[in-house]
Chains A and B, each alone.
Chain A
Amino acid sequence: MEDSIGGSSSNDNNIIKEQDRLLPIANVGRLMKQILPQNAKISKEAKETMQECVSEFISFVTSEASEKCRKERRKTVNGDDICWALATLGFDDYAEPMRRKSRTKIQEASTNQNDLC
């Protein structure tokens, strides 16, 4: 699927498609269903609202991380920047579990490398 380059100011005809701006609604619905009891129902309106919320949250946190990278003259936003942005924006309760998850992934990668050697 071709992605439209939305940031270019010279291309006024480019339109950010819905599928590029939002997470897939089926995946959002599935995540919402995991936390609910077995017989619970979720309206389409609820899924669309949650779709907007989570997509905006991603842009919000990533924008904060990107600003930090800009100040430090770095081009790549990494996982630590995201954790830092979560803490900076006041989401401390989420930043710590995310850090632990990131470390687990790094350890797994190291283990795989050792197995290959």
Chain B
Amino acid sequence: MTSAHDLTDNEDDGQQQSESQIQSPSANGISDPDISTQNVNVQYATPGQLGTGHAMVPPVYPYPDPYYRSIFAPYDTQPYPPQAYSGQPMVHLQLMGIQQAGVPLPTDAVEEPVFVNAKQYHGILRRRQSRAKAESENKVIRNRKPYLHESRHKHALRRPRGCGGRFLNSKKDENQHDDVTSADKSQSNINLNSNKNDQTSSDRTS
């Protein structure tokens, strides 16, 4: 698999850029190095012990052990377990529907097998290796920044605010402030506005 990535990188610069983006990991919540090590070990140990045609389906998360949470990283965001639980039935139902078309089989080397769609098995393994490679090479930032630019953050702090903490004289901001956090807390509103200003900057750049 590693040689495959090397070949892809050698072909084209544009392809290399897209490959680098493909290899970006999404497990933002794993801040503990021990968990990261376990995750890497599991990812690299799995291919050698398993054949083709295996399937996996993500079950509910009854395990408080972080070890199991790292196993389920491809399907869920680590830092928000409660939200994940409430959102899981939808994803689970959808995957159950897909499972009827595919052949589910036990596949993982850990104590309890994890079932996935057979069609997605190789893709999942490839993504795990890409994320592990990106983590080892690029030291991806795991913690989210409240804002990207200090000057914009200070500007947002200086803007006048009305009742409830929202900015005054701005229809665009009013339309974007629909989430509960910004409606309840003024401090969170600061971060949200800074983030949105930064996203606007990103949109302008692209």
* B partners with A: yes
A residues contacting B by CB (< 8 A) are 1, 3-9, 11-12, 14-22, 24-27, 29-30, 33, 40-49, 52-53, 55-56, 59-60, 62-64, 66-67, 70, 75-77, 88-92
Contact between B12 and A19, CB atoms less than 8 A apart:
no
Once A15-B140, A26-B200, A89-B119 are accepted as A-B contacts, the answer to whether A49 and B80 lie under 8 Å apart by CB is yes
Dominant secondary structure of chain B at its interface with chain A = helix
Q: Chain B: interface residue count, which band?
A: 35 or more
Once A3-B17, A90-B98 are accepted as A-B contacts, the answer to whether A75 and B11 lie under 8 Å apart by CB is yes
Q: Which residues of A contact B196 (CB under 8 A)?
A: 26
Contact between B205 and A63, CB atoms less than 8 A apart:
no
With both beta carbons as reference points, the residue of chain B lying nearest to A87 in the complex is identified as B119
With both beta carbons as reference points, the residue of chain A lying nearest to B99 in the complex is identified as A90
| B139 contacts A by Cβ under 8 Å | yes
| B102 contacts A by Cβ under 8 Å | yes
Contact between B126 and A63, CB atoms less than 8 A apart:
yes
Contact between A24 and B18, CB atoms less than 8 A apart:
no
Contact between A29 and B179, CB atoms less than 8 A apart:
yes
Contact between A21 and B199, CB atoms less than 8 A apart:
no
Measured CB to CB, the closest approach of chain B to A60, in angstroms, equals: 6
Once A46-B83, A66-B8, A75-B15 are accepted as A-B contacts, the answer to whether A59 and B21 lie under 8 Å apart by CB is yes
Q: Which residues of A contact B124 (CB under 8 A)?
A: 60
